[in-house]
Structure 1
Amino acid sequence: MIMRSNEIPLGDPATHFWLTRSAARAMGVNLSEAMATGQLTPRDYSEMVTNCRACHMVEGCQHWLATEAVTRCKAYESCLNKGLLERLQDEVLGLHKVPA
């Protein structure tokens, strides 16, 4: 496989699928439920895993997941999905009410 200089090598899909789910779960977010309720599209979910696969902070993320409290208020600081995870967390926990 020939890599171009502008291509980012992606990590193992299965590893990053589980890291993405684990990070969300650690924040109190169930990605399957978020998809079922329309808070997360299948494309968004796919992009989250791809973002994770492009991240070079895997060891830091794994350490964060293994050593911190079970439920966290914020995403891992270097997480490429931080903004989306925190938005979903706000919606799930009712911290950000959308006007009717």
Structure 2
Amino acid sequence: MLKTTAATVAETGVFPSLFETQEKFADELDRLVTKDMDRLYYVKEKLTRELWSEEKNKLNKLLDQEFQVYRLKSTQVNKYGEITIDKILITVFNVKPGDKVLIPM
């Protein structure tokens, strides 16, 4: 039995390659999104384009500066005033041995 593309994607999580380049894929997605905006949303019985124009004004604006993503890890200062980051000893100042400090990972 021949499986449909949707079933294949659902099982494998991989989309088959339908486009020769990333640009062609992006163009096709743009075309489909534009077409979908003229679809009637069945719950509110309005066009998706109208709903989007109402909702986009409620969105928060993104920051102009780049957001640095990292996590913090707690580590303890050894008796020599050093901490280990990625197997490298780093001397830290203004802390006592045994204190815990936060380091970005």
Q: Could you tell me the TM-score, scaled by structure 2's length?
A: 0.23
The structure with the largest helix share of the pair is: 1
Higher relative contact order (CA 8 A, sep 6+): 1
- Report which of the two structures shows the higher radius of gyration computed on alpha carbons: 2
The structure with the largest strand share of the pair is: 2
